[in-house]
Amino acid sequence: MRVLGIDPGLTRCGLGMVEGSVGRPLRLIDVGVVRTSSHLPVAERLVTIERGVEAWLEEHRPDAVAVERVFARSDVSTVMGTAQAAGIAMVCAARRGIPLALHTPSEVKAAVTGNGRAEKAQVGAMVTRILRLEVAPKPADAADALALAITHVWRGGAQARIEEARLRAVAAARRSS
């Protein structure tokens, strides 16, 4: 399974692609960041993010996209920019019919480090270890995007199998009634 993880942000939108499956070593495909200038109007910045995400989707053809679920922070302007960038990423995936999942920051931290309150440095260190990299991806947005992709491979596959089993059970119950 190839998963594109997206750590949304208006100034830096992290993108990380991994390939693998549960129980097998994961492989880094690519990692990067789409950057926008805070001096530009928000609409132009969102267009830049859209173009960057679209280019990654076109080049890497992921089987799924995992985006960080936006959560409330103290700075409303940060939340708004993050939510806008996340919306762009979600639209890009939906437009192509690519399955999309949202993972909370604590879920990602717990999956990758075992601690839902891990610091960014811990996440970066574990991403480096899990993907057998020589150095941690920089900036932190890039490592966070890879952590999202890793989380989705490890948890998303299980969630999909649970949902498939639930649907089979519902169908079987309907047939027997």
- Beta carbons within 8 Å of 36's beta carbon, 6+ residues apart: 10, 11, 13, 44, 45, 48, 49
Q: How many domains is the chain partitioned into structurally?
A: 1
C-alpha of 140 from chain center: 13
Q: Spell out the per-residue pLDDT of the chain, length 177, in tens.
A: 999 999 999 999 999 999 999 989 999 999 999 999 999 999 999 999 999 999 999 999 999 999 999 877 667 878 999 999 999 999 999 999 999 999 999 999 999 999 999 999 999 999 999 999 999 999 999 999 999 999 999 987 666 666 566 667 778 888 887
* Gap between the Cα atoms of 109 and 125, Å rounded: 12
Binding residues for Mg(2+): 7, 68, 141
Structural domain span for residue 138? 2-176
Judge contact between 156 and 66, C-beta under 8 A.
yes
| CA distances from residue 110 to 36, 59, 99, 114, 169 in whole angstroms, order as listed | 30, 30, 23, 4, 30
> How are strands ordered across the β-sheet holding 27-35?
27-35, 12-19, 2-7, 64-68, 100-103
Q: In this predicted structure, what is the pLDDT of residue 157?
A: 60
Active site residue 68: yes
- Active-site residue among 50, 68, 75, 134? 68
pLDDT tens-digit map of 128-166 = 999 999 999 999 999 999 999 999 999 876 666 665 666
Choose the catalytic residue: 59, 134, 141, 164: 141
> What is the CATH classification number for the domain harbouring 54?
3.30.420.10
